[in-house]
Chains A and B, each alone.
Chain A
């Protein structure tokens, strides 16, 4: 563990100054639910921990007419309980509500769920389906990237927490009608990593799908887009159950779950992908129809 120090910067600028000063030896911490274990197990090392949770501008969920912005210190519990997110971005609320235990959700941040870069992360899978962007600040300045482009490998993010900070996640709200849904399959009802999870986002015009994103986990080294399934859904009638089912089958073919002694055979998990994607597509389509 760090034996040198633990600091609370009060602004983003001060935070970056600290990271720069320690030149790679400092590390950001927010919820710390992964990091503290890694430090204890010596999987990672750090001279100084820079806690971002007391930076006021990182603490809020801001809901505007065109976008929702989620600060880096916002926890899964806060996202899951936000009235707007629950009503209009239910995939994200459901994903965040599925992570860990109440204790974990009360402290672990959604940004942390992205940076920890686990392929099964329920919050991140939902977020990616919503097409979220990450605002990243470093000494070099401020930039934006699609969250789904931040994945390098299992547990490896492009964002280096000893140099830069995701300040917030931005989810743009479509002008046309849209629906979202999250689904997961786990061996028990709570406190369990999913065998498979998925999130769907779709927009529609005159009862037909215009745009759609399907994200699946853990079926690859990172949350995986079902590109082929998305392609065939463009223009499909929201009521066309057969087409939704067919898309789910294609999504299952796109998934590459490995055989695992703990999670089961890849073949079986592909079956679950098909089930969950179909369920999520139907649920998202219903939201559009019901005008939620």
Chain B
């Protein structure tokens, strides 16, 4: 608006909102194919057991059953990300409750369920490895026989001379934190439909965040070529990271479809989602922090033990992020991190909104608050004193091209102090406090010399409507709308003339997908550059049609004007029609591949690897009932450096959603297992996430730093809004009741016992 934009920076209603609220948007389970069967998976009831025998004969005899499969029917390929440790169906052994053992395809759900009951599996139970410490014990059972010591991966990262730095610090603080295993709780359960065609190509419909990765992973699991697989994405009902990567059911559906010769649909039940989603990797984090008396942060040494669960998925990458990213939040002189990812017989973990940053920020932002208070300094002043700034090159080689960290901290701190409620109520029973925490994150993430860009195709049709194709998915975050805004703004045509095409890996340009808060920044940039190039093509055509100089032509609201001769104008549709339908034969199509100008990180993790770095800070006011330990989050000021807000509605939505999930992470949520590895939070009755009634008042503050690389200056905001929420709550609780809690979630019971530690002595 300030810059005279017609769409960028406006409150643009989501272009697919009407389809969604009227129920016309088609999600996976709305899709019915002729002859389609229902697929169901038999899962392990044990955390750890040998499979002695599987008898599927009774299930096969059941009328209406078309295919029953076990590992014998599946290609023996191992898949997964950096550590391929997953088979399509369990071979010889199951490693967690929910592990896939067999599967059936039948005419309907009831028959498929009945068939599962008829499969007889003989197990021999093995001792389950549950906690990290058990897994690392010298005589521990191995979760994978080829992974000695149950270690999935480890990192050792050192920058600067940490020993010399600790030796010169005025203060050294040490503390330990524990984060929890958190479920994404996306509204739409995950699923897939698989169908083979007569040319031996496989089509998989699935609402996945990274369609091209999915294509290759499915091909790898099945032992076929990536181009033999076509992934088509219907509307997606949320993902939050748990739908970035494929799950076993994707190749399972393909094997069932192959064996039955029919399309097969598998949609997980909510119970299956509770057992087998990929929750946030929990970690024990020890920090040693070196400070000067004036609040200068000097050095940080970190040890991390993360509970991988039974298979690796993205957890190695999560651990790497945990081990590195906060080193670049402040101007540390040196850092050292040793971290370990450990196999256990629990649900495999992976990335959930924050991708490792959520865990480490809870620890560090709690730690800095605590340390500052102990030496009588204002924790926010300490943060601002040490905050990275534009122009910095951080310890890990990030080049900070735009940075609103200080401004976010100031906004959050100043605004949360305005309009505060009294510090006490009900005769001191209720106590209130405020806390602040900040964060950094990325907008893309280049590993090594991998591609970290995006491609876009734009094509004018003869009626002047512009079709936009991208390989990046919209899981509900508003990518379609952002792409439409960018295309409409760049071309100068109404947003209603933009059509965002569905994602189909056979047709859509190559893209990495919706993760690393990268879609607006790199996907949007590809759309911007493609549209810009198409505009040049279009204007060249218009000069001929309108007999005008290209420099004098302008497109506005769907009309092409000649600036020197205002009477000479034509609609975009007229020009497009002439281009397509006359002997002009104009292509009016551009396919543009964009890769951001970053170098990527080397083998030691050093290097500038993201197109932009995002910053934010939350100021939170809480009240604590000292007699029950209940915490109520009253207000959140959420200040985020988004570079440029492309869609203010989208940014505000991300802030509200991130706060809801951050509040759940901070106070309520935990995927719980008992000492034997049996899951306890097996339904949404037991796994408590916040409802709208638990939501605080939210004051969003958009800080714009106009990033030099992002489209129209934009950076990502998807993950950042969750990250500072939990540590800000912990800091506010300390401000209210002088109790420091280090073990997520901060349940009312933990707070109660921390406040009444005398009574705790009397506990059994």
Q: State the A residues within 8 Å of B (CB).
A: 185, 187-193, 261-262, 264-265, 267-268, 271-272, 275
Taking a contact as CB atoms under 8 Å apart, the answer to whether A187 and B752 are in contact is no
B685 contacts A by Cβ under 8 Å:
yes
Distance to closest chain A CB from B680 (angstroms): 5
Q: Does B688 count as interface, using CB distance less than 8 angstroms?
A: yes
A268 and B749 contacting across the interface, CB-CB below 8 Å: yes
Q: Which residues of B contact A187 (CB under 8 A)?
A: 668, 688, 747-748
Could you jot down 13 A-B contacts, CB within 8 Å? A187-B748, A189-B691, A189-B694, A190-B691, A190-B694, A191-B691, A262-B680, A264-B749, A267-B764, A268-B753, A271-B628, A272-B628, A275-B627
Which residues of B342-395 are within 8 A (CB) of A? none
User: CB distance B688 to A275 under 8 Å?
Assistant: no
Q: How far is the CB of B696 from chain A (nearest CB, A)?
A: 12
List 13 extra interface pairs beyond A188-B689, A262-B680, A268-B753, CB under 8 A: A187-B668, A187-B688, A187-B747, A188-B690, A188-B691, A189-B693, A189-B694, A190-B694, A191-B691, A262-B686, A271-B627, A271-B752, A271-B759
Does more than half of chain A's interface fall in helix, strand or loop, or is it mixed?
A: loop
Which DSSP category, helix, strand, loop or mixed, fits chain B's interface? loop
| CB neighbours of A261 from chain B (8 A) | 672, 674, 680
Beyond A261-B680, A264-B749, A267-B763, whether A190 also contacts B693 by CB under 8 A is: yes
The answer to whether B628 and A264 touch across the interface, beta carbons within 8 angstroms, is no
Q: Which residue of A lies closest to B760 (CB)?
A: A267
Residues of A within 8 A of B748 (CB): 187
Which residues on B sit within 8 Å (CB–CB) of A262?
672, 680-681, 686
Whole-angstrom distance between the Cβ of B489 and the nearest chain A Cβ: 41
B289 to chain A, nearest CB (A): 32
Given known contacts A187-B688, A188-B668, A271-B628, A265 and B763 CB-to-CB distance under 8 angstroms: yes
Chain B window 31-50, contacts with chain A (Cβ cutoff 8 Å), 1 for yes, 0 for no: 00000000000000000000
- For residue A275, which residues in chain B have a CB less than 8 angstroms away from its CB? 627-628
Do A188 and B672 touch (CB < 8 A)?
A: no
How far is A193 from B668 in the complex, measured between Cα atoms in Å?
Answer: 14
Min CB distance B480 to A, Å, is 31
Q: Which residues of A contact B630 (CB under 8 A)?
A: 185
A188 CA / B759 CA spacing, docked (Å): 25
Shortest CB–CB separation between residue B687 and chain A, in angstroms? 9
CA distance A192 to B674 in the complex (A): 22
Q: How far is the CB of B577 from chain A (nearest CB, A)?
A: 52
Contacts of A268 in B (CB 8 A): 749, 752-753
Q: How far is the CB of A134 from chain B (nearest CB, A)?
A: 27
Interface residues of B in 591-647 (CB under 8 A from A): 627-628, 630
Task: Give the residues in chain B near A264, CB-CB below 8 Å.
Answer: 747, 749
Which 9 residue pairs across A and B have the least CB separation, nearest first?
A: A189-B693, A264-B749, A268-B749, A190-B693, A187-B688, A190-B691, A261-B680, A188-B694, A267-B763
Residues of B within 8 A of A272 (CB): 628
Within 8 A of A (CB), among B650-682: 668, 672, 674, 680-681
> Which chain B residue lies CB-closest to A192?
B688
| B613 vs chain A, min Cβ distance (A) | 34
Using Cβ atoms and an 8 Å threshold, which residues of chain B touch A265? 749, 763
Report Cα–Cα, A188/B764, bound state, in Å: 27
- State A271–B753 Cα separation when bound (angstroms): 11
Measured CA separation A188–B693 after assembly (Å): 8
A61 CB, nearest partner CB in chain B, Å:
27
Which residue of chain B lies nearest to A191 when distances are taken between CB atoms in the complex?
B691
What is the 8 Å Cβ interface bit string for chain B, positions 234-271, against chain A (1 contact, 0 not)? 00000000000000000000000000000000000000
Q: Residue on A with the closest CB to B681?
A: A262
Nearest CB on B from A2, distance (A): 13
CB proximity of A176 to chain B, nearest CB, Å: 32
Residue of B nearest to A41 (CB): B271
**In the complex, what distance in Å separates the CA atom of A64 from the CA atom of B688?**
41
Closest chain A CB from B127 CB (angstroms):
20
Distance, CA A193 to CA B325, complexed state (A): 39
Cβ distance A199 to chain B, nearest Cβ, rounded Å: 18
B:749-764 near A, CB below 8 Å = 749, 752-753, 759, 763-764
CA distance A38 to B18 in the complex (A): 37
B674 proximity list for chain A (CB < 8 A): 261
Chain A positions within 8 Å of B693 at CB level: 188-190
